[in-house]
Amino acid sequence: MLHFNNAGAALPPNVVLETVIGHLEREATIGGYEAAAEATERLEAVYVSLAALIGAEPSQMAVVENATRAWDMAVYGYPFVAGDRVLTCRAEYVSNVIALLQLEKRFGIEVVLIEDDEHGQIDLAHLETELAHGAAMVALTHVPTSGGLINPAAAVGALCEKYDVFYVLDACQSAGQVPLDVGTLRCDVLSATGRKYLRGPRGTGFLYAGPRALALIEPPFLDLHAAKWTGERTYEIRPDARRFENWETNFAGKLGLGAAVDYALELGIEPTSDRLIELGRSLRQQLDATDGVSTHDKGITRGGIVTFAVDGVGSEDVQARLSAQQINTSTSTAGQARFDLPHRDLPTLVRASVHYYNTEDEIDRFVAAIAGVR
């Protein structure tokens, strides 16, 4: 098998698998509550690991079931008033855009699209013009689901700071793919998932909520974990980021996420990032050199996600033919990227996403398979 669908879900290392299975076995042996109690210290350590991954404090981290819910908990909880402007980008993730459009309908906020610059990344000059007109929030996707672009998230953070605007960063595809530091990014909120470039289990994600987020945002849902029932008619929301969590959760998945982050930190995000970026570059270059194949990734800095089209063969067809050869890829469709692909007059693209464990040899095999498809 050749796994070039790391932007879908990467392959977890053994330590993640063993951690998850190990905890499930303890649950089956001694009971779920008892297994969680036994793992208290290791569960606490997950927050320390996540915080270390992005340069935050453990109290600023929440573990939730995926990146979308993490993002939702912050954005749906933001105290919007009618007329608030939310600035977003062409790369914004489909679920985030749907949520913003619902908030537009529900609360009368205005969703403003910031254009791309000539490189295809968010146009910082346009962003600054709109920030100067006033905005409540900037919502940026760091690395889109549908391409190799790495948006200049720290430069966006510097502008948000200058205009004192709340900054929500979707780091779902960038977590594990490139180094992240909330001090440098200057975001108020950061959301990410476990299963992609972090190589964690499915059904895991996390949220960073900085000081301003914790001061401003009440979660849209509260339960007995997020708040205390202090009197018959009163409750008190917990002060830390765990207010965004549920009481009931996937403990095995949470431990597995911690193991994945520890593993990533042990290897070092910088060297693994350099390697996967180089593999992405090499794949892009070889595909572009193949007759009838064109790549369509944007931006000055590009990562491990490579999108391309093959002349005369539909992308779904390409994916199916690759799959028949045990080559895993995905597709990027207009329905996932309405601000982007139709805007560039692009059809559905094939998405091949590499990780640091892929090899040059695999890239050669992949390019030969594409030439065969053609």
Ligand X SMILES: Cc1ncc(COP(=O)(O)O)c(C=O)c1O
Would you tell me which residues interact with ligand X (CB under 6 A)?
A: 66-68, 93, 95, 141, 144-145, 170, 172-173, 193, 205
Q: Which residue, 180 or 367, has its beta carbon nearer to ligand X? A: 180
Q: How near is the Cβ of 75 to ligand X at its closest, in Å?
A: 12
Element (DSSP H or E) covering residue 124: helix 124-133
**CB distance 281 to 302 below 8 Å:** yes
Of 65, 283, 262, 60, residue with least CA distance to 176: 262
Q: How near is the Cβ of 30 to ligand X at its closest, in Å?
A: 31
What is the spatial distance between Cα 4 and Cα 1, in angstroms, rounded to a whole number?
10
Q: How near is the Cβ of 148 to ligand X at its closest, in Å?
A: 13
Q: Which residue, 60 or 174, has its beta carbon nearer to ligand X? A: 174
Q: How near is the Cβ of 311 to ligand X at its closest, in Å?
A: 27
The full length of the chain comes to 374
Q: How near is the Cβ of 17 to ligand X at its closest, in Å?
A: 19
Element (DSSP H or E) covering residue 158: helix 153-162
| Helices 94-107/67-75 angle, 10° precision | 20
The set of residues, in sequence order, having a beta carbon less than 8 Å from that of 163 and lying 6+ positions away, is 128, 131, 132, 135
Q: How near is the Cβ of 310 to ligand X at its closest, in Å?
A: 23
Q: Which residue, 203 or 373, has its beta carbon nearer to ligand X? A: 203
348 φ, ψ to 5°? -55, 135
Q: Which residue, 26 or 196, has its beta carbon nearer to ligand X? A: 196
Q: Which residue, 98 or 132, has its beta carbon nearer to ligand X? A: 98
**CB distance 104 to 91 below 8 Å:** no
Q: Which residue, 49 or 66, has its beta carbon nearer to ligand X? A: 66
